[in-house]
Chain A
Amino acid sequence: MKAIIAEDLYKSYNKGSVKALDGLNLDVEEGTVLGVLGPNGAGKTTTVRVLATLLTPDSGRATVAGIDVVKNPDEVRKIIGLSGQYAAVDETLTGWDNLIMFGRLYHLSTKQAKVRAIELLEQFSLTDSAKRPIRTYSGGMRRRLDLAASLIIKPKVLFLDEPTTGLDPRGRQDMWGVINELVKGGVTLLLTTQYLEEADQLADEIAVIDHGKVIARGTSDSLKKQVGGERLEIVVENQYIAAAKQIVAKISGSAINVDEGLRQISAPVTTGSKALIEAAKLLDEQGIHPLDIGLKRPSLDDVFLSLTGHLAEEKTEEDLATSGKKRSR
């Protein structure tokens, strides 16, 4: 059963000159996490806004838990949670005030709202700061409270729009922990991010979007495979470079790359960890102790560059160079 379906969504601004969504298609299986990955302006936030009933698409169709977001927004609002890029809570009020207010707006009784607020503050480690105004919270605390507010009714489908943008590494780690816990609880999650690492960490599947449409879709692994296979990489001291190269040649046999400066020998392999063990064994037999040895899979950065690079091939080389630069931000 699909929890989210978006079909051929189009949305443009300024009389069509800016195409925020340009035929976007995606779907999310119930109980899974889809990471929507893309650079700024790719259409991530617009996608979330359409699915969360905040924005009406120019054309196309979208459903959340089988309910049409354009025809029946009120029903959709009863089963979704949304936590945006900006911590959308009332900063002058305390964390407690906010949770009670949102609880009441979800039509809980005062008593139910209080019970739920206590649970959520506990779950997000905010109990001690409950009576402080939000404006005194750190960025990470704010985001956690924002997330807590979107979970008041235990939504079936949760939308998180760039949940860690602007957080420091520690805050990001905390947030990832919190999100992982949520996912274990079985919620369907659509998460947008500019961070490849984040999609890798949190999502079951990734949809890469650019210029308002999905340009690639798959698991993190399958996307990485799409770009290229694994590489065996060995770093040794200078005097062993030649010997190590011979060993790598035995295992891989093709396209061996030697970087004298990094003292690194690398080559594509097809047998995965078997190749790694083999290489380690052969090195050990010759008494060579590598400084570093490992299998490197292409990062999602590589995936993104190669995917958008592919798109840009139709353009001139100059365009390609500049768009490459922009993307790598």
Chain B
Amino acid sequence: MSAVMDAIVITKRQLLQLTRVPEVLLFSTIQPIMFVLLFRYVFGGSIDTGQPGGYVQLLMPGIFVQTVAFTLAGTAVGLAADMQKGLIDRFRSLPISRSAVVFGRTLGDGALNIVVLTAMGITGFIVGWRPSSGFFNIVLGFIFLLVFGFAMSWVGVIIGLSVREERVAQNATFIAVFPLTFLSNAFAPTTGMPKPLQYVAEWNPVSTMVAGCRELFGLTNEFGATAGSFPSENPLLMSLIYMVIIMAIFIPLSVRKYNKASK
């Protein structure tokens, strides 16, 4: 019980930071909104989707997934900064649960996604996004996105505690996540890619997430590559499997890393 309380204190600290430095929240919301607008109006006209409602219907799930995938970066940068400043040392000298700090951090970063996704959803709606699957499925879609963000956050824990420096964390995570989100069906059909890349894109968790969300938001996923393969036939199941795998590997690894962390 006290482990949960400890984690909540850490999460609260992070939310308190947002009120003390509101710019963080502001910019982490503006960036995805900017992406929505840019893609909607720059590519929207030239990509013919054949989908009723146009490109923005396919785009929104893509940008949602890209944004929550980048949760990893926020976690890594935050922990690297704490490490660099010696805060992790202090936390580790306290009589708190061994997983509290990393759980608190990932929960906090996960919670931040609620705000960001809401802002993006509203922006999307304004520029024409109309999910057609009904309230229940839409909510389920957002829950899916939040859980994926939470899972990615755990990958960020390892990166942040390993690089130990804020700026390195920033660059390292960008290099890791950016290709992942573009080597996917998030923004354009994968059929235009060279064959080997098509396979990578097809099995990429970002693609399965995007395809899954498109399904939940009432679309057929037209940006998938080869029909008939397991991930493109079962994107939701595949995404779930990925999330379980990521968490099963990275949660214990992160807790271990934290307890051995030394400046």
Contact = CB atoms under 8 A, between A and B. Distances in A.
Interface of A: 49, 52-55, 74, 77-78, 80, 82, 84-94, 97, 101-102, 104-107, 133, 149-150
Identify the interface centre among A52, A82, A94, A105: most chain B CB within 10 Å of its CB: A105
B252 interface: no
B20 A107 contact: no
Contacts of B89: 49, 54, 82, 84, 88
B95 interface: yes
A54 B262 contact: yes
Interface string B88-105: 011111111000100000
- Select the residue from A53, A90, A91, A133 with max chain B CB neighbours within 10 A: A90
Nearest to B100: A105
B2 interface: yes
B9 interface: yes
Contact of B17 (A55, A74, A78, A90): A90
A93 B20 contact: yes
B6 interface: yes
Nearest to B2: A107
B21 interface: yes
B92 A78 contact: no
A74 B6 CA distance: 14
Interface of B: 2, 5-6, 9, 12-13, 16-17, 20-21, 85-87, 89-96, 100, 262
B85 A91 contact: yes
A106 B93 contact: no
Contact of B86 (A80, A84, A133): A84
A104 B93 contact: no
B13 A107 contact: no
Contacts of B5: 104, 107
B21 A105 contact: no
Contacts of B21: 92
B17 to A, nearest CB: 5
A104 B9 contact: yes
A88 B20 contact: no
Contacts of A93: 13, 16-17, 20
B95 A88 contact: no
A149 B90 CA distance: 9
Closest 7 pairs between A and B when the two form their complex, measured CB to CB: A88-B86, A86-B86, A88-B90, A77-B95, A82-B93, A78-B95, A104-B9
Interface of A is mostly: loop
B6 A105 contact: yes
Given A54-B89, A85-B86, A106-B95, 14 more contacts: A55-B262, A88-B89, A89-B90, A92-B17, A92-B20, A93-B13, A93-B17, A97-B16, A101-B13, A101-B16, A102-B90, A102-B94, A104-B5, A107-B5
Contacts of A106: 94-95
28 contacts: A54-B89, A54-B92, A54-B93, A54-B262, A74-B95, A78-B95, A82-B90, A85-B86, A87-B85, A87-B86, A88-B85, A88-B90, A89-B87, A89-B90, A90-B87, A93-B13, A93-B16, A93-B20, A94-B20, A101-B13, A102-B94, A104-B5, A104-B9, A105-B91, A105-B94, A105-B100, A107-B2, A107-B5
A97 B12 CA distance: 10
A90 B108 CA distance: 16
B9 A101 contact: yes
A77 B90 contact: no
A105 B97 CA distance: 9
Contacts of B2: 107
Contacts of B92: 53-54
Contacts of B85: 86-88, 91
Contacts of B86: 84-88
A53 B89 CA distance: 10
A152 to B, nearest CB: 9
A87 to B, nearest CB: 7
Contacts of A149: 90
Contact of B96 (A86, A89, A105, A133): A105
B152 to A, nearest CB: 23
B252 to A, nearest CB: 19
Contacts of A85: 86
Contacts of B13: 90, 93, 97, 101
B61 to A, nearest CB: 33
B7 to A, nearest CB: 10
